[in-house]
Amino acid sequence: MTVLQKKTDNPIEHLTPEDIELIGKELDEIRQGVVDSRGESDARYIRTVIDVHRKIELGSRAVLLASGFAPAWVVGTIGLSIAKILENMEIGHNILHGQWDWMRDPKIHSTTWEWDMASPAEQWKHSHNELHHTYTNVIGKDNDLGYGIMRVDEDQPWTPMYLGQPLWSFINACFFEYGIAAYDLELGAVIAKKQTGDPEFRRRAKQVLAKIGRQVRKDYVIHPLLSGPNFLSTLTANFVANVVRNLWSNSVILCGHFPEGVETFEKKSIDGESRGEWYLRQMLGSANISGSKAMHVLTGNLSHQIEHHLFPDLPSNRYAEIAPKIRDLFQRYGLNYHTAPLPQQVGSAWHKIIRLSLPNGWLENTTARNLPTQVVKLWKMTTGKPRVRRALLREQAAMAAA
Amino acid sequence: MTATVPRPSPARPALRTLRDRALRWAELVTTPLLPADYLDLVHPLRAGADLRGRIEAVLPETRDAATVVIRPGADWRPHRPGQYVRIGIDVDGVRMWRAYSITSDLGRTDGCFTVTVKAIPGGKVSNHLVRRTEPGTIVQLDQATGEFCLPEQRPAKALFVTAGSGITPVMGMLRNHPELTDVVLVHSAPTADDVVFGAELRQLAAEGRIRLVEQHTDTAGVLDAAAIAELVPDLAERATWACGPVGMLEALEEHWAAAGIADRLYTERFRPTVLVTGEGGTVSFTRNGTTLEADGATPILDAAEEAGVLMPSGCRMGICYGCVLPLREGAVRDLRTGEVTTAAPGDGVLVQTCISAAAGACDIDH
C-alpha cells in the first residue's frame, strides 16, 4: 500500500468536491440524530458496564486469594483479564474520549477519570484524542501508525533493521500499556533530540513513573501479599491478566487502522482540509471488525472503528445503531467499507507488519520454488553495501511488475 | 454554631481519622479507582460517602405538586426550618441540580426529610420529580442551607406572604415552630385545589394556630401590597417572611421600604431576576480546552454545562459563591444588574458564573 494520493487507482477519484461536501452534511445529520436522542437508557448502559466491571474485578481478585489452588488460578485469571479488558476498552477509552461528559456526572467524566493502565489519563488524552484522532493515518503526523518504530508504508525506505519488526511488534503487543506510556511521553523523539533534561518532559516522566509505580505495586506487591502463601501464584495470575489485556487491546488497535487496504495519507494532503474531507479521511483510514455483541463490547466498540473515527465523542453503545446508515453512505458514494471478522483483520494486520519488514516486493515475489534464491538475495540486501541493496531492490520491483 | 447542629462527640473525630487512614491503605489495593467506588456499590448512603439520598416515596399534594420523601446519607446535618437543599438528579441521563425548600418536621422518626415540588410548565427537573421519579432513585445532595429562617428570638407576631410553591419554606417553619402563636398567612394560588398543603393549612386555621387568608387568583385576581396591608392592619408590628414570584417580592419590598419597615421583611427567591442581557461571545475554558459560543442571556454556568464541561456550582442565583471562577481576559455581564466586569490579560477577576453571561470573548480559568 502507498499513500492514497500516490496511488494509480485512487479510490476517491470519482468524488467531486460537491459529493464530499454532501457526505459531510449527511454525517453531521447522523451525528445530530444521536446527540438529540442521548438519554436515560444510554446512561444506564455505561453505569451497568461500570458496575459489571467492578463486580467481576472484585470477584476475580477474591478468587485469586486462593490462587494456589489451580482451578482458582484459572477462573481468577480469566475473570481479571475480562475485567481489565472491559475497564480499558469500553469504559476507560470511551470515557476519556468524553463520550459520557454529557451526563454531567463528575464520577464518569473525561476530566476526572483515571484508568488501569501505565499511561496517565491526562497524557493519553493528548496523544490520542488530539493527535491521533486529528491526524488519523497521515504519514509522519499520526504516530499511532507504527508508534514511530515501525515501517508502515512502502515509501518509507527499507533498512535491514526492519527485519526485526515482527519480533518487536510482538514484544510491544505483550507490554502494550508501557509502549503506550512511552509513546504518550514521546520518549523516542525526546531521546533522539537529546531533550531529556527538559523540565516539562521531566515533569511528565515523573507522572508516568508515579502511575506505573502505583499500578505495579497493586498488581505485583499488594494483591500477592494479600494472598499470603499464594503470593507467587497471584503475582503470575495478575501478570498473565495484564498480558492478555495488552495483547487484546493491541490486536483491536491494529485492526482499526492497519489491515491491508486501509488508506494512508500524505502530510500536505490535509492542508486546508474541509469538514467533509476530514470525514472522508476517517472513512477510508479505518477498518471495522464484524462479530458478536460480546465481541463489540470487549473491543470497547472499536470494532466500529469507522463510526468511532467519524464521531469519536458519541456514546459507544450507539455505534452499532448508526453502522448500517454509514455503510449505506459508503455504498452510495462507491467507497469501500472495510470490515471483516477479528481473526481475518488481525491476520491481515500482521501480514502487513511482516510484509513491510521485508524489502518492497520481496514477500510478493517469493514462492515455495524460488524461496532459496530469494533468501540469498535477502541476505545480500541485509549484509551488502547500499549499492548492492539498491540494485536488488530494483530487481524485486521489476519482478513484481512482471 | 446553632442549636440545631449537633456537636460531634469526642469519639467521632478519632473514629473518622482511623477510617480515613484505613481508606488510604485500601487505595493501594483499588488504584486507580478509590475504595469509595466499590463501597458505593453496596452502601451509597454510608458515612464518609459523597452526600446522597434515596427517594423513599413521592406523595401527590395537588394536581401538579408532590412531596418527595428522601432518606439522606449518614453525614446529613439536620436543617433549620425554612432552609433549602440542593438536589442533583439525573433527568434523561443528565445530572441536574435544583434547590427545594425542606418541608418536613424535624421530629420525624424515620430519619427522612421531605421537599415539596411544584411542576412548572417546561420545568425539566420539577416535572421529572413530580411525575416520573420512582422510589429507590438515588439523588445527590448538598447540606441544607439558606437564611430564610426564624431568628433565635422568635417574633411575637409573624406574617407570611406566599404564592404558589412559595408556601414550601413557610410550611417547613409552621410545622416546626408551634411556639409561634400569632401568625397570619396570606397565600395565593390559582384555585382552592391548587393550594399546596391546603387541607393542613385549613386545619391549622380551624385550630386557631394561624389566621389563613387564601387568595384564589383565578377568580379573585392577584393581591397587591396595598390589599395585603388592608387585610393585615397590624402589618407594621409583624415580622414578615415572603416567598413567591419575583414580581410579588419586588412589590412587597417596595411597599415595606415606603412604609419604613424594610428591615422587618425577609424574602426568599429561587431564581435570579434577569434584568439585563446583551451581546454574547466566545467563552474559552483555558485549562479544560473547551471553547463555546454563548449568547448574552445565558449564564456561563448553563452554557458550559450544556457543552459537557464539569462546572463548580451552588445556589444558581448569585448568592452562595460556589460557582466563582477566575476571568483571565475579556468581559462578562451580571444578568441581574447589567454591570460589566472586564479582565485584562493576566488578571484573575473572580466572577459568579451562575449569574454572569459572556459580554464578548472571554477566557475563564477552568
Nearest to B288 among A51, A111, A223 (CB): A111
| CATH number, position B105 | 2.40.30.10
Mutation pick from B90, B311, B313, B366 vs chain A, by most beta carbons of A within 10 Å, is B90
d(CA B179, CA B190): 30
Distance from CA of residue B135 to its chain's centroid? Answer: 22
Q: Does A364 touch chain B (CB under 8 A)?
A: no
The confidence score (pLDDT) of residue B2 equals 34
AA identity, residue B209: R
- From B96, B114, B141, the end of a domain falls on B141
d(CA A205, CA A195): 12
Angle at B355 between CA B353 and CA B360, to 5 degrees: 70
AA identity, residue A362: W
CA count, 13 A, side-chain hemisphere, A47? 15
The confidence score (pLDDT) of residue B7 equals 47
- From B242, B268, B294, the end of a domain falls on B268
| CATH number, position B165 | 3.40.50.80
Q: Do B357 and B327 meet the contact criterion of CB atoms below 8 Å apart? A: no
Q: Does A225 touch chain B (CB under 8 A)?
A: no
Q: Is residue B76 part of a domain?
A: yes
Cβ neighbours of A106 in B, within 8 Å: 310
Strand blocks (E) in A206-328: 288-290
Do B321 and B354 belong to one domain?
Answer: yes
Q: Do A4 and A265 meet the contact criterion of CB atoms below 8 Å apart? A: yes
Strand blocks (E) in A198-321: 288-290
Q: Is residue B106 part of a domain?
A: yes
d(CA B272, CA B246): 8
Among A130-139, A188-197, A352-361, the range of highest mean pLDDT: A352-361
Locate the chain A residue with the closest alpha carbon to B27.
A218
Q: Do B32 and A116 meet the contact criterion of CB atoms below 8 Å apart? A: yes
Tell whether omega for the bond before A341 is within 30 degrees of 0, i.e. cis: no
Q: Is residue B147 part of a domain?
A: no
Do B355 and B288 belong to one domain?
Answer: yes
Handedness of CA A228, A233, A236, A238 (dihedral sign): negative
Strands laid side by side in the B182-189 sheet: B210-216, B182-189, B157-163, B239-243, B265-268
| Mean pLDDT, all residues of chain A | 93
- Could you tell me the three cell numbers for B317? 442565583
Q: Is residue B32 part of a domain?
A: yes
Residue A189, classed as helix, strand or coil, is: helix
Do B116 and B179 belong to one domain?
Answer: no
| CATH number, position B313 | 3.10.20.30
Nearest Cα to B174, choosing from B101, B104, B79? B104
Cβ neighbours of A218 in B, within 8 Å: 28-31
Do B232 and B178 belong to one domain?
Answer: yes
Question: Mean pLDDT lowest for which of A54-63, A388-397, B3-12, B188-197?
Answer: B3-12
Per-residue pLDDT of chain B (366 residues; tens, 9 = 90+): 333 444 445 556 788 889 889 999 999 999 999 999 999 999 999 999 999 999 999 999 999 999 999 999 999 999 999 999 999 999 999 999 989 999 999 999 999 999 999 999 999 999 999 999 999 999 999 999 999 999 999 999 999 999 999 999 999 999 999 999 999 999 999 999 999 999 999 999 999 999 999 999 999 999 999 999 999 999 999 999 999 998 899 999 999 999 999 999 999 887 666 777 788 999 999 988 899 999 999 999 999 998 889 998 888 888 888 899 999 999 999 998 889 999 988 788 999 999 999 999 999 999
Do B137 and B181 belong to one domain?
Answer: no
Residue B64, classed as helix, strand or coil, is: coil
Do B13 and B29 belong to one domain?
Answer: yes
d(CA B333, CA B335): 6
Mutation pick from B27, B94, B125 vs chain A, by most beta carbons of A within 10 Å, is B94
For β-strands B182-189 and B210-216, DSSP reports them as parallel
Do B254 and B165 belong to one domain?
Answer: yes
Domain that holds residue B328: 281-364
Residue B246, classed as helix, strand or coil, is: helix
Q: Does A109 touch chain B (CB under 8 A)?
A: yes
Q: Do A91 and A68 meet the contact criterion of CB atoms below 8 Å apart? A: no
* Exposed/middle/buried for residue B28 (C-beta within 10 Å: 0-12, 13-18, 19+): middle
Tens digits of residue pLDDT in B211-225: 999 999 999 999 999
Asked if the Cβ–Cβ distance from B308 to A218 is below 8 Å, we say no
Q: Where residue A2 falls among pLDDT bands split at 50, 70, 90?
A: low
The confidence score (pLDDT) of residue B249 equals 93
Do B56 and B92 belong to one domain?
Answer: yes
Asked if the Cβ–Cβ distance from B94 to A102 is below 8 Å, we say yes
Asked if the Cβ–Cβ distance from B29 to A111 is below 8 Å, we say no
* Exposed/middle/buried for residue A352 (C-beta within 10 Å: 0-12, 13-18, 19+): buried
Locate the chain A residue with the closest alpha carbon to B93.
A40
Q: How far is B38 from chain A (nearest CA, A)?
A: 7
Give whole-number Cα distances, A87 to A165, A332, B30, in Å.
29, 37, 13
Mutation pick from B29, B132, B302 vs chain A, by most beta carbons of A within 10 Å, is B29
Q: Do A145 and A137 meet the contact criterion of CB atoms below 8 Å apart? A: yes
Tens digits of residue pLDDT in A132-148: 999 988 887 887 766 56
Locate the chain B residue with the closest alpha carbon to A118.
B32
Do B225 and B199 belong to one domain?
Answer: yes
Asked if the Cβ–Cβ distance from A104 to B33 is below 8 Å, we say no
Alpha helices in B234-335 (DSSP H): 246-258, 300-306
- The distance between the two most distant Cα atoms of chain B, rounded to a whole number of Å, is 70
Do B19 and B94 belong to one domain?
Answer: no
Q: Is residue B162 part of a domain?
A: yes
Structurally, chain B folds into a number of domains equal to 4
Nearest to A54 among B41, B93, B288 (CB): B41
Q: Do A84 and A245 meet the contact criterion of CB atoms below 8 Å apart? A: yes
Cβ neighbours of A95 in B, within 8 Å: none
From chain B, which residues contact A within 8 Å (Cβ)?
28-33, 37-38, 41, 90, 92-96, 288, 305, 308-310
Q: Is residue B82 part of a domain?
A: yes
d(CA B233, CA B240): 13
d(CA A90, CA A116): 13
Residue B364, classed as helix, strand or coil, is: strand
The DSSP call for residue B119 is P
The confidence score (pLDDT) of residue B166 equals 95
The confidence score (pLDDT) of residue A146 equals 66
Asked if the Cβ–Cβ distance from A104 to B29 is below 8 Å, we say no
Predicted-complex ipTM score: 0.90
Nearest to B93 among A98, A103, A218 (CB): A103
Q: Is residue B149 part of a domain?
A: no
CB proximity list for A69: less than 8 A, separation 6 or greater: none
Tens digits of residue pLDDT in A301-344: 999 999 999 999 999 999 999 999 999 999 999 999 999 999 99
Do B292 and B195 belong to one domain?
Answer: no
- For residue A290, pLDDT beyond 90: yes
Q: Is residue B146 part of a domain?
A: no
- The distance between the two most distant Cα atoms of chain A, rounded to a whole number of Å, is 69
- Could you tell me the three cell numbers for A254? 491494529
Strand blocks (E) in A68-129: none
Q: Provide the chain A residues 310-329 that lie in CB contact (below 8 A) with chain B.
A: none
Tens digits of residue pLDDT in A145-183: 665 678 888 888 899 999 999 999 999 999 999 999 998
Do B119 and B62 belong to one domain?
Answer: yes
Q: Does A55 touch chain B (CB under 8 A)?
A: yes
d(CA B271, CA A48): 35
The confidence score (pLDDT) of residue B238 equals 96
